[in-house]
Amino acid sequence: MSWTVEYIPEKRWVSIVASGEITDEDCRAQVAKAIPLLHEHESNLLWVDCSGVATNASLAGVYRLPDYATELGAPWNIRVAVVTPKTRLRIEVFQFFELVCRNAGYDVRLFDDRPSAEEWLWHPPPVQAAAPQLASL
């Protein structure tokens, strides 16, 4: 597997770009490298481009990633845009990653293309000021 983790100043986000086969160890190493960069640059935006990835990551390894990120001090308000593999091979691993991260309180979204992922990172949804009204019984 080949991957890079770096801060992109013009985007104000940390970027993870991966290609080839990805393992549980690769995922943990990427998280371990990305979180200090987020803190160093006072960013809460993480761009993850897996469009060229074939994953060998296990569901158990993916399940533990949010807890590992928390242990390393991931920002509470992190926004993570993940561009999924073009082949859609083992897409359920990415969907499971999104689910466990969101259950842990992290704002993670999957995208089929780069422009949609970038748009979401740059334009977060508005904060809801009040709870929606419940219909009367």
Claim: this prediction has a pTM higher than 0.85? yes
Question: Along the 137 residues of the chain, how does pLDDT read in single tens digits?
Answer: 689 999 999 999 999 999 999 999 999 999 999 999 999 999 999 999 999 998 889 999 999 999 999 999 999 999 999 999 998 888 999 999 999 999 999 999 999 999 999 999 988 666 555 556 655 55
CATH of the domain at 82: 3.30.750.24
Q: In terms of residue numbers, what domain contains 15?
A: 2-122
Q: Is residue 34 part of a domain?
A: yes
State the amino acid at position 101 in one-letter form: C
Q: Is residue 133 part of a domain?
A: no
Over 63-131, what HEC string results?
HHHHHHHHHCCCCCCCEEEEECCCCCCCHHHHHHHHHHHHHCCCEEEEECCHHHHHHHHHCCCCCCCCC
Q: Is residue 82 part of a domain?
A: yes
At 97 the pLDDT is 96
At 55 the pLDDT is 86
Domain count within the chain: 1
Q: Is residue 80 part of a domain?
A: yes
Q: Is residue 79 part of a domain?
A: yes
Q: Is residue 7 part of a domain?
A: yes
Q: Is residue 136 part of a domain?
A: no
At 123 the pLDDT is 82
